[in-house]
Amino acid sequence: MKSIILLIILVAAGIIGLSSALYVVDETEQVIILRFGEVQAVKRTPGLNIKLPFVDVVVTLDKRILRIDAPPVAMPDIEKENLVIDSYARYRITDPVKFRKTLRTESNARSRMADIVTSSLRTEVARRDRIEIIGAEPVLNPNGSQLVDSEGVPIFIGTETRGEILLAVLADVRGQVQEQDLGIEITDVRIKRADFPDEVTPSIYTRMRAERNRIASKFRAEGDEKELKIRADADKQSTIILAEAQKTSNEIRGEGEAEAIKILADALNKDPDFFAFRKSLEAYNNILNTDTTVILSTESDLFKYLQGPYATQDHGKDID
């Protein structure tokens, strides 16, 4: 029975001792082994390791890319106009020992680095104008005026100036980190947001509204212009069509008249005297009506038989 208890004690002691002598470095971690505060070893590769039980202390640090989230800060640009810039950075701990000496903890590193990133960004932003920070510039005509599209809106073209700003900030921050020997590597600095300060926003909205109103009235004027042009053109064409038709019509009518006259005249010319005779008779018929009184001589041809069955010889001689 004694040996059983002994066995249990032995096993328990073995487990405790073993667990104290062994430590695991995870894929995501790096560790420093401290012996009485003194750095004994740095392990950056994952796996099972042995240390002096109860004496060596394991300090675990992250090996992954870590996040620095700088708070949004109003920064004046070169024209002293504020933009609220929200930035972030990423870093990783490259030298755990230095990191432990200088920044000590991740939360401390976060706030220290956020300060460094913000101040570096502030410096860089103060050298640039708003257009460079936002990232697009107006396209200019050769004469220096802004190029506009068909709607009268200025055309902008994207630039890589924001990238340049960030590269400059990254270089600056890296320099400071190196100088202060912080044991970290800044991998990236980015502007997450760049916004107008709240107090500027209403004036931006006013400008946007004015610009839209301008575009809208341009559209409306264009509508009127197009309508008037098309209608005027249609009226013009219609008038021309009708006038030309009138012209053609008159020509045709004239031709008809001319031909009719010619045909008739050709026929009548075969005996102008007979025509005159007949036409005169017709005319008398039309001229003389019930309102007319005619004085007729009994010596006229018409009445040459009025006074006897034999006509006086001197009448009608002129007929031939």
Partner 1 sequence: MYPPGGPVGKQPEINLEDLIKQIKNSFSGITGKFGKFGFGGILLIAALLVIGIWSGSGVYTINPGEQAVLRMFGAAQGNPIAQEGLHWWWPAPIGKKDVVLTTETRRMELGFVGTDGGGSAAVPGESLMISGDLNIVDVQMVIQYTIKDLSNYLFKVDDPGEPERGIAPGSPDGKTLKDASEAALRLVVGQSSIDEVITEQRSQVESETRVRLQEILDSYETGINVVNVKLQDVKAPQEVQDAFQDVLRARQERDTKENQALAYKNDIIPRANGTAEQKIREAEAFKESRIATSEGEADRFESILAEYNNSKEVTRQRLYLEAMEAILPGVSKIIVDPETEALLILGGNNSNITPIPMMPGTE
Which residues in the 98-127 window bind partner 1 by CB under 8 A?
A: none
Cα of 7 vs its chain's centroid, Å: 82
Of 120, 117, 85, the residue nearest 191 (C-alpha): 85
Residue 81 lies near partner 1 (rule: CB under 8 A): no
Residue listed under structure tokens 């640039």: 128
Interacting residues with partner 1 between 210 and 239 (CB under 8 A): 211-213, 215-220, 222-224, 226-231, 233-235, 237-239
Q: Residue 57 in contact with residue 47, Cβ under 8 Å?
A: no
CB of 320 vs partner 1, minimal distance in Å: 7
Taking the complex as a whole, the smallest distance from the CB of residue 36 to partner 1 amounts, in Å, to 26
Smallest gap, in angstroms, from Cβ of residue 247 to partner 1? Answer: 10
CB 144 to partner 1: min, Å: 18
Among 79, 198, 199, 318, binds partner 1 (CB under 8 A): 318
Distance CA 256, CA 241 (A): 22
Instruction: List, as one string, the DSSP characters of 248-277.
Output: HHHHHHHHHHHHHHHHHHHHHTT-HHHHHH
Which residue type, as a one-letter code, is found at position 13?
A
- Of 3 and 143, which CB lies nearer to partner 1 in the complex structure? 3
Our CB check for partner 1 shows the closer of 57 and 131 to be 131
Among 32-40, 51-59, 167-175, 196-204, which window interacts with partner 1 (CB under 8 A)?
196-204
Question: Of 51-59, 97-105, 172-180, 197-205, which segment contacts partner 1 by CB under 8 A?
Answer: 197-205
Q: Computed over its alpha carbons, how large is the radius of gyration of the chain?
A: 58
Nearest residue to 299 (alpha-carbon basis) of 314, 281, 284: 314
Within positions 17 to 76, which residues make up the interface with partner 1, using CB under 8 A? Answer: 24-29, 45-48, 62, 64-67, 69
> At a CB cut-off of 8 Å and minimum separation 6, what does 124 contact?
165, 168, 169, 172
Contacting partner 1 (CB under 8 A), which of 40, 102, 159, 180? 159
Reading phi first (left if > 0) and then psi (alpha if -120 to 50, else beta), residue 200 is in: alpha
- Counting residues that bind partner 1 (by CB under 8 A) gives 132
Cα 284–chain centre separation: 89
Q: CA 6, CA 21: separation in Å to the nearest integer?
A: 22
**179 vs 290, beta carbon nearer partner 1:** 290
288 CA to centre of own chain:
90
Tell me if 187 contacts partner 1 by CB under 8 A.
Answer: yes
- What is the smallest separation between the CB atom of 256 and partner 1, expressed in angstroms? 3
Residue 153 near partner 1 by CB under 8 A: yes
Q: Shortest approach of partner 1 to residue 181 CB, angstroms? A: 23
Residue whose tokens read 């200025």: 154
CA atoms within a 13 Å half-sphere pointing along the CA-CB vector of 71: 5
Show contacts with partner 1 in window 266-305 (CB under 8 A). Answer: 266-268, 270-271, 273-275, 277-278, 280-282, 284-285, 287-303
Least CB distance from residue 172 to partner 1, whole Å?
19
